[in-house]
Amino acid sequence: MEEKRQNELREFYHRQLLEDIIPFWMEYSLDRQYGGYFTCLDRDGSVYNTDKYAWLQGRQIWMFSKLYNEMEPRPEWLEVATLGVNFICEHGFDRRGRMYFAFTRDGRPLYKPWDIFSETFAIIGLAEYSRATGDVGILKRAQKLYWNVIRRVKRGDLSTHTVPKTREVETLAIPMILLVTTQELEQVSPAPRFSDIIDNCLQKILYLHACDEKKALFENIAPDGSRLDSPRGRCISPGHAIESVWFILREGKQRNDRKIIDRALQILDWSLEWGWDREYGGLFYFVDSEGKPPEQLEWDMKLWWPHTEVLYALLLAYHLSGEKVYWDWYEKVHEWTFNHFPDPQYGEWFGYLHRDGTSALYLKGSMWKGCFHLPRSLFLGMKILEKIEKA
């Protein structure tokens, strides 16, 4: 029975990916005049803002390159990736080699570089594209960008708007993004130093941000790992925590390291307990660890991307542990997610729901929502379901 269900899910994911999600973005997001991708798409796919955002350019390059490399070498997928590569290589960077955050449709910069995330998504996109094309120049560009990011992180040069010396804060987003960026680049072009960088990321996430006393993975901590008694310091983001978990599970699997896997599973257990809304179902966006008012007004909304990350994390957890509890959690999250986010009329998913699961916004894309979390989850979910079936 379980094997039949797993096969049904794999086929369902395949249909969702190739008959709904990917066709939607191919139909509506491609700017064939100026290059790159539109991501501000209304419910029916119509473009409501032609500005372009660096995060989402790099992410879509990665997604279509990944499909080309690991699913099927369709020329049209590579053409989509090329649109993004040409756009960011021509318009993406300032004179110091830092990436702008946003552009006009024709590539003029709108927002100055302010963090490392634009660069990290460009790195994984360019690296995966170089794997598809064999373009050594593109790979070297990704590698140069990567080492520039590593140097900036070591210097603390993260363009933050806070005054760091007043209250020193380390945010989960940094080791988390460095971990997955290094993993992705390592798949394309391994380097000896990657192991130490990944070790450092694992240490910070598993033993500094993760707090055994509170059974929580905190978004923001002091540099020594101590907790900050402020709304920022009490903040838990269940989606971020669980996305981190599957990055770590993947590393534990790669190394065949049971200690890493077990610690990640522990954090997954904590995060599900913190995040799941027992009244309405779905995952809260933010939680205050002391039950005090969160500073984020959207704290109780249900966003698409945490649910996509949880689905894959639970499948991977089940695959690596064999524990039925993760399969049961998966079925519960799957049912809620697919009952609330997909748009049966125009395709793709709504991204932003009220706490009760009704749509808050009907858009399909924005400056934050693009062609990444959902298709990545479907693609990786298909692959892991196939492994579960074979096991």
List, for residues 189-234, the tens digit of each pLDDT value.
999 999 999 999 999 999 999 999 999 999 999 999 999 999 999 9
Give pLDDT, residue 160.
64
* Alpha helices, H only, 161-237: 173-188, 194-204
Q: Where are the domains of the chain?
A: 1-30+181-391, 34-161
Q: Do 1-30+181-391 and 34-161 share a fold? A: yes
- CATH number at 34-161: 1.50.10.20
Quick one: DSSP state of residue 297? T
Q: Using an 8 Å Cβ cutoff, are 207 and 183 in contact? A: no
Give pLDDT, residue 56.
99
Residue 269, CA distances (Å) to 183, 202, 218, 248, 263 in order:
24, 18, 14, 14, 10
**DSSP characters for 110-124?**
EE---SSHHHHHHHH
Find, among 366, 363, 359, 368, the residue nearest to 348 by Cα.
Answer: 363
Architecture of domain 1-30+181-391: Alpha/alpha barrel (1.50)
User: Helix, strand or coil for residue 276?
Assistant: strand
At 170, phi and psi to the nearest 5? -110, 130
Low-confidence ranges of the chain (pLDDT < 70): 1, 159-161, 164
